[in-house]
A and B are shown apart, each in its own frame.
Chain A
């Protein structure tokens, strides 16, 4: 128990070093800038956060006024639990199997069960931060007696610990047994992705259930009961949490809360104690497999251009590292499924399809318009894919402590930059292809629209990759201990995503306003598309030139 507490204390010190140790954090030049940037971001992001929380709180009032307050509370808890699952899958994998920390702890006199138990607790504490923007404001606004608030807090802790422990159990078993065969580790990545898909699709399915029921005041109780039943089947911890929060009898609420707490503690202990041997074996196998793979891959490659070698290295690294794969390559799989699902579950009416067809049918088809529409969809749509599925913005960061190799290898700057850009194009274009294919099959657009679409995609991929790489060259985050930290706690990625979505929002808003005020017509779309195309191409060129110029200059300053 003493060591468990020591390990938890150490993890919390590392996770919240800036808060718990501000003096040292500000003294070290490496962390000073980052700490100040975090503060600045928090100040900027805080505004959005307050807006989001206010929006949520407004919804509570609306739902309450219609007698649906309890339903809203339930949806709040489900959203929070889904977020925990979504983030927990990669966090658990990263903290347990891809962190140097474990290698450091193994020779110390601490049991594997304590190591595993402490990791589950620290992941739980991290995950609880999301409760601050979901469960906490909703609960305060929803209001209740003292036991309600106690249940909200303890319920969040217990539900999170239970969920994280269950995710860990599944991943430990998978890593132990699938790791024995080389290449089967990727199965885990697929499992992770499907877990996310199941939850996202689950929501759409629930929405459909609501639509089908055609809710009236009379059918409302039945609707809530059916909806709750479906959710409770998937997430029993949410059921206990809801009983603790909303039932009228105190003994029932107390019983549910105690049961939830006991289940969380028991499952956490069971996973820590029983899973520790499997965890250590899986960890050892992970190392052995890496050696085996290395041995089998001793093929002498033909002479390739150097930039291609760098691109292939980037692609292989992303595909083989779950956290990179999950963050960079998965969007290309997720979006098409999300596009297809509403079509598959809607019978007869096909609302989604008819919405898209309606929008598409409202277009005025002509050669110029077709090219304009294709261009705009390609240019703007690929910004979304560009920020989520490109690899250039983390390319230098991912080198981490291996950067010395980049600094010392006799590789031309041109090859370094081109290789990283090629890998990024691959992920962006491969990512957008399935979605483009589905839209093509649904709408059968004319050829010129398709060609213009791909031209837009290509130019925007060029721009986003170049700008992403430039940002990463300027301020890479090289000091990280596990891949998750490199990606999730990366200010470059955050700023790039915020900037790109801000730009996308601005363009769409401007276009809508221009249309509303009749300042532009359909025939103007081609011109607008071409202007944006030239702008993207130019920004890409500027990004490329600056990347090449700054790469060498900055490279020797990184340490």
Chain B
């Protein structure tokens, strides 16, 4: 479970995230949508510990991020919108590095690598330098790295960008499979259709504040019964 209470983050004069409250339950696929500069990536970066909140509290799996950042980081996996991956090592070496960091034993590590590499059709390229990978392949290797230790909470920033339709489908299936096992998936997207079809609940953020949160039906009933998510989004973020 992810809990944010009164979280604030400012950059100079600008409040990027403004008194944000949010709860994401276990086993939930949660979509986080908002226009550019609304505060999505800043919120995500605070949850994963890249940025420190100015005030407020962040808990993951009941653990306070400020008190036990490593405990939180062990539970989560994060893939940024434009993942930086070491280019002068091979795909295997990169995945092994992550396996080492998360303390995976050899057997489960090899099984995970084989499984996800096959799912994303990248087995043939694992022995090559990452510098030779296309953008989509780099996105795939970053996703495999994130899934490797079967995280309790998977946090993805624009995960579909750069993926071919088949890989996007695979990722969606893996997200569903994860939440069936009680894991939480929190992701940001600009693709309304993905949010509508995949997410159990959705939050819309604008100017650092949550302007709508709930299931698709709850949001529709509150704002526009016969409207699509896209229409509601456009109205709320005008």
Beta-carbon contact of A291 and B101 below 8 Å = no
Question: How far is A100 from B90 in the complex, measured between Cα atoms in Å?
Answer: 18
- Are B89 and A14 in contact, with the CB atoms below 8 A? yes
Flag if B13 contacts A101 (CB, 8 Å). no
Asked whether, in the complex, the Cβ of B70 is within 8 Å of the Cβ of A109, the reply is yes
B169 within 8 A of A: no
Q: How far is the CA of A109 from the CA of B11 in the complex (A)?
A: 26
- A295 CA to B16 CA, complexed, in Å: 13
Contacts of A295 in B (CB 8 A): 12-14
Is B97 within 8 A of A24, CB to CB? no
How many angstroms from the CA of A331 to the CA of B49 in the assembled complex?
40
| Contact indicator per residue, chain A 9-31, by CB within 8 Å of chain B (1) or not (0) | 11001100100010111011111
Give 12 new A-B contacts, CB below 8 A, not counting A21-B93, A288-B11, A295-B12. Answer: A6-B100, A10-B89, A21-B89, A24-B127, A27-B132, A28-B132, A107-B49, A107-B78, A108-B73, A108-B101, A110-B73, A291-B12
Which A residues touch B100, using CB under 8 A? 2-3, 6, 9
A: interface residue count bin? 35 or more
Let me know if B103 is at the binding interface, CB within 8 A. yes
Shortest CB-to-CB span from B101 to chain A, Å, is: 5
Interfacial chain B residues near A42, Cβ < 8 Å: none
CA of A162 to CA of B49, assembled, Å: 30
Q: List 11 A-B contacts (CB under 8 A).
A: A2-B100, A10-B97, A21-B89, A27-B128, A28-B131, A29-B132, A101-B84, A108-B98, A109-B73, A287-B51, A292-B12
Q: Are B52 and A30 in contact (CB under 8 A)?
A: no
Shortest Cβ distance from B52 into A: residue:
A284
Known: A13-B89, A17-B88, A27-B129. A107 touches B76 (CB 8 A): yes
CB-defined contacts of B73 to chain A, threshold 8 Å: 107-110
Chain B 60-101 interface residues, beta-carbon cutoff 8 Å to A: 70, 73-74, 76, 78, 83-90, 93, 97-98, 100-101
Q: Is there an interface contact between A103 and B89, defined as CB atoms closer than 8 Å? A: no
- On B, residues with C-beta under 8 Å from A are 11-14, 48-52, 70, 73-74, 76, 78, 83-90, 93, 97-98, 100-103, 127-129, 131-132
Taken together as a complex, chains A and B put the C-alpha atoms of A200 and B85 apart, in Å, by 39
CB-contact partner of B12 in A3, A103, A288, under 8 A: A288
Q: Are B87 and A106 in contact, with the CB atoms below 8 A?
A: no
Q: Is A111 in contact with chain B by the CB < 8 A criterion? A: yes
Q: Which one of A17, A21, A109, A284 lies within 8 Å of B74 (CB-CB)?
A: A109
Q: Which of A6, A29, A287 contacts B101 (CB 8 A)?
A: A6
| Interface residues as binary, A277-295 with B (CB distance below 8 Å gives 1, 0 otherwise) | 0000000100110011001
Q: Does A104 contact B (CB under 8 A)?
A: yes
Which residues of the other chain, B, contact A13 by a CB distance below 8 angstroms?
88-89, 93, 97
The verdict on A111 contacting B12 (CB below 8 Å), with A24-B90, A106-B50, A479-B131 known, is: no
Most B C-beta atoms less than 10 A away, residue of A29, A100, A104, A107: A107
Which chain B residue has the least Cβ–Cβ distance from A106? Answer: B50
**Chain B contacts for A110, CB-based, 8 A:** 70, 73, 101
Is A226 located at the chain interface by the 8 A CB criterion?
no
Interchain CA distance A29-B88 in the complex, whole Å:
12
CB-nearest residue of chain B relative to A23? Answer: B127
A225 — which chain B residues lie within 8 A by C-beta?
A: none
Report whether A24 and B128 are in contact in the complex, using a CB–CB cutoff of 8 Å. Answer: yes
Query: How many whole Å from A276's CB to the nearest CB in chain B?
Result: 11
The reply to whether B74 and A30 contact each other, CB–CB distance below 8 Å, is: no
A 347-379 to B, binary, CB cutoff 8 A, 1 in contact else 0: 000000000000000000000000000000000
Q: Are B129 and A2 in contact (CB under 8 A)?
A: no
Tell whether A31 pairs with B74 under 8 Å between CB atoms, given A2-B103, A106-B50, A109-B102: no
Q: B101–A107 contact, CB under 8 A?
A: no
A112 to B: closest C-beta gap in Å = 9
User: A31 and B51: CB pair below 8 A?
Assistant: no
Please determine whether A109 and B101 come into contact, CB atoms closer than 8 angstroms: yes
**CB pair A17 B89 closer than 8 Å:** yes
Q: Which of A9, A21, A100 contacts B84 (CB 8 A)?
A: A100
- In the A-B complex, the 5 residue pairs with the closest CB atoms: A109-B73, A292-B12, A17-B88, A107-B48, A28-B129
Bound Cα distance A481, B51 (Å): 21
How far apart are the CA atoms of A284 and B10 in the complex, in Å? 12
- The smallest C-beta distance from B218 to any residue of chain A, in angstroms, reads 31
**Judging by beta carbons under 8 Å apart, are B86 and A10 in contact?**
yes
Determine the residue in chain A with the shortest Cβ distance to B44: A107
Q: Chain A residues with Cβ under 8 A from B86's Cβ?
A: 10, 14, 101, 104, 481
How many Å lie between the Cα of A106 and that of B50 in the bound state?
Answer: 6
User: Which chain B residues lie closer than 8 Å to A31 at the CB level?
Assistant: 88, 129, 131
Contacts of B97 in A (CB 8 A): 6, 9-10, 13
Smallest Cβ-Cβ distance to B87: which chain A residue: A479
Instruction: State the CA gap A104–B89 with chains docked (Å).
Output: 15
Determine the chain B residues whose CB is within 8 A of the CB of A30 once the complex forms. Answer: 129, 131-132
Question: Nearest-CB distance from A323 to chain B (Å)?
Answer: 19
Q: Which residue of B lies closest to A280 (CB)?
A: B52
Query: Complex Cα distance A111/B101, Å?
Result: 11
Bound-state CA distance A479–B100 (Å) is 26
Which residues A1-55 have CB closer than 8 A to chain B? 2-3, 6, 9-10, 13-14, 17, 21, 23-25, 27-31
Q: How far is the CB of B161 from chain A (nearest CB, A)?
A: 15
